[in-house]
């Protein structure tokens, strides 16, 4: 078994777990986009950028208007440079950043490019007698984006500090919370998304002929997939299915490889089933 990315300690929501052959898909799931529902509290900063950490600063946020919040949210949408939360799993000289911070050390992580394709505000309300402002949002973002860091940066942009008080991951790539089950439900009935269905949701699909399925199962190349231009370096892998609907392999288009393969072709990155399983 394996997983495609953990959740923060206070977070809930989707955790994609692979079993047996499906663990081989996890590499491709890790880099997919994620969607979160979150609540950001303006007026307080914490050491962890979420409610798990001690409060390090408090500023009355009563003067922050809805318009101020919307403007700052817009500036944090799109392709941005983000400094990850210092209490994160990023390694610094072989040590996890969070371990160094919790031991009393300091960590200065460099900014890195991330994409926030959606930063939608649903509700803004006053808390603590108006001293604090809570903002409910939905964020859709690239892999590697820290929602805690978005909360911190929103508070910094508004001059009052900010942190997360709630976080729920609702989607990982094509997999949503509606498809998920709790641990208690899985303990009673281990229902899973079948490998074939998981691959069809995640990748472009190629339907193989019986001969192509057999060739791939024996390590032979097949003609290039229409989903990728001939001669490309691959792009998104393609899930290739035998005539019976069984996932046979993940394919990547390759360019000419000399006299033996003078034309473009598709090569199996991973082989899941022999052709005779069709």
Catalytic one of 8, 49, 134, 215: 8
Active site residue 196: no
SS3 100: helix
Distance CA 178, CA 189 (A): 17
Distance CA 75, CA 119 (A): 10
For 236-270, b where at least 16 C-beta lie within 10 A, e where not — what string? ebbbbbbeeebbbbbbbbbeeeeeeeeebbbbbeb
Distance CA 136, CA 166 (A): 9
Residue 160: name the closest of 126, 133, 121 by CA: 133
Pairing of the two strands 2-3 and 17-18: antiparallel
Tokens of 162: 């900010």
Q: Are 107 and 100 in contact (CB under 8 A)?
A: yes
Helix axes 66-75, 147-158, angle to 10 degrees: 130
Considering just the CA atoms, what is the radius of gyration of the chain in Å? 23
The DSSP result for 15-52, as a single string, is: --EE-GGGGGGHHHHHTS-EEEEEEEEETEEETTSBTT
Q: Are 116 and 75 in contact (CB under 8 A)?
A: no
Q: Are 42 and 137 in contact (CB under 8 A)?
A: no
Among all residues, which ones are annotated catalytic?
Answer: 8
């Amino acid at each position: 078994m394996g997983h495609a990315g953990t959740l923060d300690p206070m977070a809930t929501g989707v955790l994609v777990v692979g079993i047996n052959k499906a663990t081989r898909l996890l590499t491709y799931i890790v880099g997919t986009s994620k969607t979160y529902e979150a609540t950001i509290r303006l007026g307080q900063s914490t050491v962890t950028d979420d409610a798990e950490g001690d409060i390090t600063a408090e500023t009355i946020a009563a003067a922050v208007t809805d318009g101020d919040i919307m403007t700052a949210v817009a500036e944090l949408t799109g392709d941005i440079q983000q400094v990850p939360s210092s209490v994160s799993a990023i390694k610094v000289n072989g040590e996890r950043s969070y371990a160094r911070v919790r031991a009393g050390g300091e960590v200065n992580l460099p900014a890195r490019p991330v994409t926030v394709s959606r930063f939608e505000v649903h509700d803004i309300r006053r808390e603590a007698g108006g001293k604090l402002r809570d903002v409910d949002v939905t964020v859709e973002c690239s892999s590697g984006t820290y929602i805690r860091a978005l909360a911190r940066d929103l508070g910094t942009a508004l001059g009052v500090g900010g942190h997360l008080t709630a976080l729920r991951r609702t989607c990982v790539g094509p997999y949503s919370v509606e498809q998920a089950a709790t641990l208690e439900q899985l303990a009673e009935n281990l229902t899973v998304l079948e490998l074939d269905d998981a691959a069809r949701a995640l990748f472009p699909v190629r339907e193989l002929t019986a001969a192509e399925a057999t060739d791939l199962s024996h390590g032979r190349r097949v003609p290039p997939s229409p989903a990728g231009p001939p001669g490309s370096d691959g792009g998104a892998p393609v899930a290739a299915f035998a005539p019976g609907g069984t996932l046979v392999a993940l394919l990547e288009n390759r360019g000419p490889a000399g006299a033996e393969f003078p034309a473009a072709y598709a090569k199996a990155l991973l082989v899941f089933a022999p052709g005779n399983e069709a």
